[in-house]
Amino acid sequence: MKYDVIALGAGSGGISVVERAASYGAKCLVIEKGTVGGTCVNVGCVPKKIMWNASHVADTIHNATGYGFDVAYKGFSWATLKEKRDGYINGITQWYGGYIESLGIDYVEGAAKFVDDHTIEVDGKQYTADHIVISTGGRPRVPSDVKGAELGITSDDFFALETQPKRIAVIGAGYIAVEIAQLMHGLGSESHLFCRHDNVLRSFDDFVTDELKLELEKTVHLHTNSAIEALEQRDNGIAVISNHGAIEVDTVIWAIGRDLNTDNIGLENTSVTVEAGGVIPTDQFQETNVKGVFALGDITGKFPLTPVAIAAARRLADRLYGGKEGRYLPYENIASIVFSHPPIGTVGMTEKEAKAQYGEDAIKCYTTSFTSMYSSFTPNPVKTAMKLIVAGENEKVVGVHLFGPQVDEMLQGFAVAVRMGATKQDFDDTVALHPTSAEELVTMR
């Protein structure tokens, strides 16, 4: 059967490209071997944020005493949260099914493989299209060189846990590792975080990661400079054996990165270039080296974030079918949030990146740190820290880095400002909202 667009993968990128293309009248097919919605909806952003919310609620209950409330914390039901979380996600996936059908988009469930550059096969049936979009995402990585690695689970498996582990070890230093370790601590588990180096989130600006490390050391058991040598089943749990010794826990979660789902879709039958690690390189229009074959999302080796895949997908469909020639997604100044406790928000360059691009003498940094009004009344006050990185004589803001309560809801508007080329003077000329933490960003000196 012939289509205008075939998307491999019904995650954020795949659904978004066929949704937008169909709105322009294109005949579209999306193929998915798993559950519609992909990683984000089923085992990523959505369930993670629900778990983060639960941990935040627990924190709020503990903080209530500082405001004069006599609150008795009587425990937490993992089963109740899981049931409600799973029901919420099932509602989203069911809605997707009806929505895709309502748009006239064909949906095929199964494993897709390329037969040639423009032909896809699923369960013996072949489909062709002028434009094929590869948006197959990734999967959690489990090490192959650690004895007993199979005793650990992945971040995907974490959301299937029927009971709350009393003791948990998370191995990794990225945002997934940090988020799980801290939210589990917030929900009452003894939480251990193992990382290979002396800090976490090494691609982020040191200003915020240093603050996060201080907070981690007050909450979870942080094991830095740790090389995991083996996992071993013992009578009372799983032993995590590292160069620093052994610690027993109930559950071990591998959060050491993700492998790309490009190794099992028949790319060897095409002319598509695949780089080390399964990355599919594209031009600025998301097109691979094969005309009419495109790649979106994690597999491009760029920002592995849901909103990025969605934005790139919609722009691709706009260009191909909406008459918007030249439309594409620039990959500069993309904001991101780490749902740590408290969160990290960042947009633009780190200080190191800015100095590398503009020169050390052209860069100036403005910083502030304080305890917010809300946090000042709590039993365990949390610091807020902010950093602006500016470049050149006109002090164009090229980086904003935030750490603290509510920065996740604070950053979006400042991301718009950075994208528009705002200067430090523009920030200074903006009247502050008082009393808020956000006002510090427009009153720095």
What residues are labeled active site?
434
DSSP state of 151: G
Task: Looking at 35-190, list the stretches that DSSP marks H as alpha helix, in order from N- to C-terminal side.
Answer: 38-43, 45-63, 78-102, 155-158, 175-186
CA distance 195 to 171: 6
| Residue whose C-alpha is closest to residue 134's, from 283, 286, 251 | 286
Give the H/E segment covering residue 319.
Answer: helix 306-321
Instruction: List beta partners, residue 249.
Output: 238
DSSP string, 225-260: S--EEEEEEETTEEEEEETTEEEEESEEEE-S-EEE
The answer to whether 145 and 155 have CB atoms below 8 angstroms apart is no
The answer to whether 200 and 178 have CB atoms below 8 angstroms apart is yes
Cα 439 to its chain centre, rounded Å, is 27
Q: Helices 45-63 and 175-186 sit at what angle, rounded to 10 degrees?
A: 40
Structure tokens at 364: 């100036």
CA distance 411 to 72: 34
Give the position of tokens 């760029």.
302
| Residue whose C-alpha is closest to residue 209's, from 217, 362, 430 | 217
- For 17, phi then psi, to 5°, come to -70, -40
Burial letters 226-239, b for 16+ CB under 10 A, else e: bebbebeeeeebbb
